[in-house]
Structure 1
Amino acid sequence: MFYRRAGVRHTSYAADRRLWPLAFDRRLILLLAVLAIAAPWWLTPLYLTAWALPMVIWATAAMGLNLLMGGAGQIHLGYAAVMAIGAYASIHLARAGLPFELAVIGGGLAAAAIGSLFGAAALRVKGLYLAISTLAMQYIVDFAISHVPAISGGAQATLQAPPVVLLGVIPIAGDAGRWWVALAVAILTASFLLNVRRTGYGRALATIRDKDYAAEVIGVNVFRYKLSAFWTASFIGGVAGAILAFCYYRAITPEQFHLDVSIQLVAMVIVGGLGSVLGSVLGAAFIFAVPLILNMAVLGVVEAAGLDLSQELVAHIPLAAYGALIIGFLLAEPLGLAKIYDNIRKYLMVWPFRHFG
């Protein structure tokens, strides 16, 4: 079928450690990359800016959170605050005259520094206590942004993002340009995280995730690796927040980074699949796109059938269906959408036979 291992012969460690040893996987990745790059030509401007662009940015943020939750086993309920730090810091740096690229990196570094500061305090606890500690970060950052005029201009103020200019000479004004910038950041993030899992650093994080005290016994410095996971995840979140501010919102307010955003990001990671880069993308697509699709579907059915339903009921039917879908997916496969894809892939590897090997 599609995923046949015939012809795959590992004659070196490098070949054995390839990200995609199967030819079909490589062709599929190439096809998806071509479709993503060509999206401005086959998607309408409305779908590109209202669906594809924010989805790829949220997928980038979910990848960073997944490194922390799925890679190191550390829950974080304040990730929207990390993105807010990156967004505000990058805009202030750009306004101060830094090029766009350095402003985005600076926003990531600011988010990493503050996220690591809270992470260092939170890493003395774990489990639900760690969740409450990161939740405190969310509230503290929300309060600081809203009540310090030097950061946001005030609770009701709107901070405009400067125009995106690559390398100081290439202005990015259209929807297609902003899409390619966001897509490039997402691809770089995914490439980094896919390779992290194959390094000693990634294996150390996996050991900590499974049993942190056992990792300490075999010589892994648990505190240092956990803190570095907080730093890396916060940096990715800060960069995602900066891209969100420059390429999607283009004007930010404190209301855009409240607790509900953190909860949505956690849902993306869990529904997509912990510890999976593909799961982060699928989870972001599911959490972001499914409510829109359900709204359009319900409105279409109501109008086509001529049903006399109240506006309140029509508004709540998609929400109920959305919740039922999440519960159904998690009941069918608790490890998320990425595991469902992996199950299908493994089935096709041995089809038409029932069992592997």
Structure 2
Amino acid sequence: MPPRALGPFTVSPIGLGCMNICHAYGVAPPPEQAEALLLAALDAGVTHFDTAALYGFGASESIVGQVLAPHRSRFTLASKCGLTHETGDGTVKPGRVIDGRPETIRATCEGSLRRLKTDVIDLYYLHRWDKAVPIEDSVGALAELVRAGKIRAIGLSEVSADTLRRAHAVHPIAALQTEYSLWTRNPEIAVLQACRDLGVSFVAFSPVGRGFLAGALPDVAAVQALPEKDIRRPMPRFAPEHFARNLPLLADYRRLAADAGCTPAQLALAWLLQQGDDILPIPGTRTVEHLHENLGAADVRLSADVLAELDALINPATVSGHRYAEQARREVDTEDFAEK
């Protein structure tokens, strides 16, 4: 599959999300495993690496910097601010905090540059819009970082079409990132079209449904056995009552994968890639084996009939449970479907 545009950059059609290398899905892998994964991705042709100040409260950026800094010219580097545990006045909070004040954005960027061992971050996202701060002010601070040569392009994460347009009026937005997969279709409400209207690249995180579409959780017992700190535990979709309703979707889904000659994870990624050349999935993983499996999706071509079957099988009407718990829902600005 040809490379794709990520704002002003040209990158591999499938990137690597770097949250998994330090936290979120149970116990973090050992450093040597994370290093092997990053180098394997680079050697396999991945040229889009996505991290954030939030991930492990700087741990992901530190690992990416330590491992990939010697190869900095070979890839496009994306990171994020506005959602971390440090504020612009040097205060460290016990947990994560949404802070989009210009002084915090500037301070977070300086920390990211140090951890990533680079002079400039290619694509720097506002990880969450701080609704106490006008989006124009936060994007204005990011624009100052562009002018200062500390970042090259600006991105937004988990915002609505209206917020994207307000931000884009202040400074061109290169990319918008939000969750998008067969079982999370929120971008199709409005923001995906807004991106296309404005020429903004769309980066899709959690493209295999946080493991569900890869078949990583075969039954309710597997969900109940997730580690205590696994971020899926509070998500309604993974609650036993909802998960039990979602499991029957997998039988026909696996059949479609087998008919297409690919794995379930590859089917999810191939579906996403065929939704438009402006869509760039960034699956995360901890193993080189899964990395190569995910990248193999770029070679999968799905017929119009298979695409139609997938759309009919897994969609907002057939998936049970919201993607986020109530607090997380309040933190994002994305359009949402009505409660079922």
TM-score, normalised to structure 1, is 0.26
Relative to its length, the structure with more strand (as a share) is 2
Relative to its length, the structure with more helix (as a share) is 1
Q: Which structure has the bigger radius of gyration?
A: 1
